[in-house]
Amino acid sequence: MDTARIASLRSAPVPPARHLIDGEHLDASDGATYQVISPIDGKPFTTMPAGTAADAQSAIAAARTAFDDGRWRGMGPKARKTVMLRWADQIEANALEIAVLGVRENGTEIAMALKAEPLSAAATIRYYAEAIDKLNGEIAPTEPGTLGLVHREPAGVVGAIIPWNFPLMIGAWKLGPALAAGCSVVLKPAETASLSLLRIAELGHEAGLPPGVLNIVTGTGAVVGAAIAESMQVDVLAFTGSGATGRKLLEAAARSNLKRVYLELGGKSPNIVFADAPDLDEAAKVSAAGIFRNSGQVCVAGSRLLVERQVHDAFVEKLVAHARAMKVGDPLDPETAAGAINSQRQLDQTLNFITEARSLGRKIVTGGNRIHEETGGFYMAPTIVAGVEPNDRIAQQEVFGPVLAVMPFETEEEAVALANGTDYGLAAAVWTANLSRAHRMVRQIRAGVVHVNTYGGADLTVPLGGVGQSGNGHDKSLHAFDKYLDLKTAWIKL
């Protein structure tokens, strides 16, 4: 990694950000802004428009007009593909600059951010661009004398609302298929992770996205997000974030135009280690990364460790060694394994879980405290809590911080019961060398993805989505198109 370039970018002045609406950079309609605080040192480094409902409405109107006049969906697949491929190339060409900008705002360690943010966004946009001219309709097997055609048409205006942990990766999971399908989009990034999205949207326009097709409105969920959710002009709402917000979006859709709502929510994902795992050292190494990278701010983080009792103590010891060896701190140091927590609020919430676990007599095996406070940044030591009871809040609720809750189990049945014992169902892992057991576990665990003898890393070719209160609908893979395309039947008498 080009450390000299990172050093010069880390303190480069960042001009006040502006919305991107109808191809134009705009301030909030009332001129209001808020400060962008870097979690690296707790200091403000630029400002962001505090968007108003009117800003959201003008972006939606621009997207509506762009959709209705066909300037994008009517362009033809080859031309749209060319624009999106060019966009992906430009994101890739500016990857380091974009990654550093994003890290200054959200705190993810640069080694991960570079791959998971601009480079993954470029790969996602390219993947969906390449699919544009391969989306066929269908001819139905009707009786003679009729012809049944099934057209796949862009669904219209998409409202996308996303969180702060991986704004570009998650943003591209919505933008890639939505734009490739021919939709127009209004995207609201999280309050604490908007800069890099604004930057890639700008590159999209330079690559040839017509004005109004991709609009970014910054500001709070309660104002901008709610205005998108309540709009009569938005056809599809694609959301990643918390269950509490997801619930509000469903209500808003019911109150307004019954727009389709796709929710990618949180998880409390079980990582299940059997004594017969092929390599317990490898399992410990991967499991530590599976919870502690990006300081645990990962929707699929393996935040509940279920370990077969006979290897429990030895395995926890291995994990503790990895947790203590992890370099936590300055996210712009390429050697850092876990950067900053996104905000003071998120840090405080995470520490509250630890205080509660302590008061219940649970064992804080390592970590449990804020570190590097002298920097002014928001850092926390990788934390392992053992002796957790299945109904503890730390075992039931998403912490979204570097905190692993550990529970022992005796039998496969008990492991399944514990694994399925939360309201969530996003991700899981099983470590075992027993092939039959691995398949039995995959079938029995309620989750959108079950890893076997690994954790994380599932690529774009497979869908990601949850069951239960982890949501509905899927990002990634060709299945993501289902959210942004409508089926239309032509029934023709011959």
- Name the minimum Å distance from CB 226 to ligand NAD: 4
> Are the CB atoms for 195 and 17 separated by under 8 Å?
yes
- Residue span binding ligand NAD (CB under 6 A) among the ranges 44-52, 188-196, 388-396, 455-463: 188-196
Structure tokens, 371: 């570190």
Q: Contact between 302 and ligand NAD (CB under 6 A)? A: no
Which residue, 71 or 393, has its beta carbon nearer to ligand NAD? Answer: 393
Sequence-distant (≥ 6) Cβ neighbours of residue 269 within 8 angstroms? 300, 301, 302, 303, 304, 424, 426, 427, 428, 429, 447
CB of 165 to ligand NAD, least distance (A): 5
CA dist 32 and 48 (Å) reads 9
Select from 246, 201, 172, 224 the least CA-distant residue to 90.
201
Sheet holding 485-493, edge to edge: 138-140, 146-154, 485-493
* CB of 230 or CB of 330, closer to ligand NAD: 230
Segment contacting ligand NAD by CB under 6 A, of 50-58, 69-77, 222-230, 313-321: 222-230
Q: Which residue is catalytic, options 117, 299, 308, 412?
A: 299
Give the span between the Cα atoms of 371 and 338, in whole angstroms.
12
* 405 close to 373: Cβ distance less than 8 angstroms: no
From candidates 121, 122, 190, 253, binder to ligand NAD by CB under 6 A: 190
What gap in Å lies between CA 239 and CA 460, rounded to an integer? 18
HSE-up (13 A, CA, CB side) for residue 448: 30
The residue range among 58-66, 219-227, 327-335, 432-440 that interacts with ligand NAD, by the rule CB under 6 A, is: 219-227
- Choose, from 109, 264, 308, 398, the residue flagged as catalytic: 264
- Nearer to ligand NAD by Cβ, of 81 and 474: the residue is 474
Amino acid occupying residue 151: H
Nearest distance from residue 491's CB to ligand NAD, in Å? 38
Distance in Å, CB of 476 to ligand NAD, minimum: 9
Which of 109, 114, 164 minimizes the C-alpha distance to 382?
Answer: 109
- Residue 34 has a CB neighbour count (10 Å cut-off) of 15
Is residue 266 part of the contact set for ligand NAD (CB under 6 A)? yes
Residue 241 interacts with ligand NAD (CB under 6 A): yes or no = yes
Helix or strand run (H / E) with residue 281: helix 280-292
Residue 264 annotated in active site: yes
Q: In angstroms, give the least distance from the CB of 2 to ligand NAD.
A: 28
Cβ distance to ligand NAD smaller for residue 229 or 418: 229
Alpha carbon of residue 284 to chain centroid: 25
CA distance linking residue 248 with residue 470, whole number of Å: 15
Scan residues 280-299 and list those touching ligand NAD (CB under 6 A): 299
Does 262 interact with ligand NAD (rule: CB under 6 A)?
no
From 109, 191, 308, 392, residue interacting with ligand NAD (rule: CB under 6 A): 191
Closest approach, Cβ 346 to ligand NAD, in A, equals: 7
Determine phi and psi for 267, rounding to 5 degrees: -155, 170
**Judged by CB under 6 A, does residue 165 bind ligand NAD?**
yes
Out of 49, 182, 225, 473, the residue judged to bind ligand NAD by CB under 6 A: 225
The only residue of 115, 248, 372, 440 in contact with ligand NAD, by rule CB under 6 A: 248
**Residue ranges binding ligand NAD (CB under 6 A):** 161-165, 170, 188, 190-191, 220-222, 225-226, 229, 240-242, 245, 248, 264-267, 299, 398, 400, 426, 466, 471
Residues labelled as active-site residues:
264, 299
